[in-house]
Structure 1
Amino acid sequence: MSLLTNETINHILDRRSIRSYKPEAIPADVVETLLTAAVHAPTARNSQPWQFIVIDDRAQLDKIVGLSPYTKMMAQAPLAILVAGMPEKCPGYWVDDCGAATQNILLAAKSLGLGSCWCGIHGTPDRCAEFGRVFGLPEGVVAYSVIALGYPNEEKPRAEGRLKPEIIHHNNW
């Protein structure tokens, strides 16, 4: 059996950033499934240093468009999830943990027939501060990413040819 027939592997390989969505709302049970997938991501010392804001209010989604040059798709998305981290809970590792939670949301979305797009926030201090202000993040909680979600209004083919010999090293460089 080829591993490429495995459903999980195929969801990973077929996942693409989707930036065009149908206006159809995402049911609450689907949103809960996405969040359940997020909190099952691995974390350093099982710290689970995250918080999530589910954004389905059109005015709030439209505000996101103005917070970053990379979030224009929010104008169409019926839903977004803001992933925020608590650096003091796991100094040095909370970024990795929030990244794993973000990826779990993307993969769960793909498996549920949703399109998604990961928009980075962390790493740009002004952007982090703006997201924190707009969404009322308390002190000690930092915006990490915002994920646009919706039923896709575009299809993208699998990205082929990414695994190249020159990026693989065995035992050392």
Structure 2
Amino acid sequence: MDVFEAIHTRRSIRKYKDRPVPQELVTKILRAAMSAPSAVNAQPWVFIVIDDRKLLDEIPTFSPYAGMCREAPLAILVCGDITLEKAPGYWVQDCSAATQNLLLAAHAAGLGAVWTGIYPMKDRIEGFRKAFELPEHVIPLALVPIGYPNQRPEHEDRYREEKVYHNKYGRKRMNL
């Protein structure tokens, strides 16, 4: 699958088959996540791979939009370690880029995944901090449940010409 196909066909998958994801594939996905760009190449991310059924089942009790964890064979918690930042405040962008790489890599590998938001919701941050024993300098950004998809959402072209301006806001490209 080329990068354009991966980008255009990736969808949020919330239903998974009862099938484990091999560790080699998890490592491959994490390698892709860690290949993301980061401010001053700080790479302030930390990943927690969660495959303990009890922990996965507990997540929806403090993260209300992560109910799919109850059937996902694993999830990856993407966190920013602010002690690793070289450009303060950019950890969110850095970890978001890593999360997008993770989603695309999972899709390219035939897996389904969905980005569930944590940061900046204080209650979710505290829930993940407590459940996964995160120190204060490690901030959870996103949880990505992953598994073999048990659904196939339709592809849709999301390009919208009305959202594109030329040189300045509100200015459309003139056809010559």
Unaligned ranges ≥5, structure 2: 170-176
Secondary structure, aligned partner of 1:153: coil
Residue equivalent to 2:117: 120
Q: Tell me which residue corresponds to 1:153.
A: 150
Q: Match for residue 169 of structure 1?
A: 165
SS at the partner of 1:142?
strand
d(CA) in 1 for partners of 2:26, 2:33: 11
Segments of 4+ moved more than 6 angstroms: none
Tell me the residue number matched to 1:138. 135
Q: Contact 2:128/2:140 (CA < 8 Å) preserved in 1?
A: yes
TM-score by length of 1: 0.94
Q: Aligned partners of 2:128 and 2:168: how far apart in 1?
A: 41
Q: Which has the larger radius of gyration?
A: 2
Q: 1:73 aligns with which of 63, 68, 73?
A: 68
Distance 1:169 1:89 in 2: 37
Aligned to 1:53: 48
> Could you tell me which amino acid in structure 2 is paired with residue 22 of structure 1?
K
- The answer for the alignment partner of 1:31 in structure 2 is 26
For 1:107, the aligned partner's letter is: L
TM-score of the pair, normalised by structure 2: 0.92
**How far apart are the structure 1 equivalents of 2:83 and 2:126?**
17
What corresponds to 2:77 in structure 1? 82
- Which residue identity does 2:55 align to in structure 1? Q
Q: Which residue of 2 aligns with 1:3?
A: none
Corresponding pairs, count: 167
Residue 8 of structure 2 is aligned to residue 13 of structure 1: yes
CA RMSD of aligned residues (A): 1.0
Residue 43 (1) aligns with residue 45 (2): no
**AA at the equivalent of 1:34:** I
For the 8 Å contact 2:39–2:94, the answer to whether it is kept is yes
- 1:164, 1:104 → 2: CA distance? 23
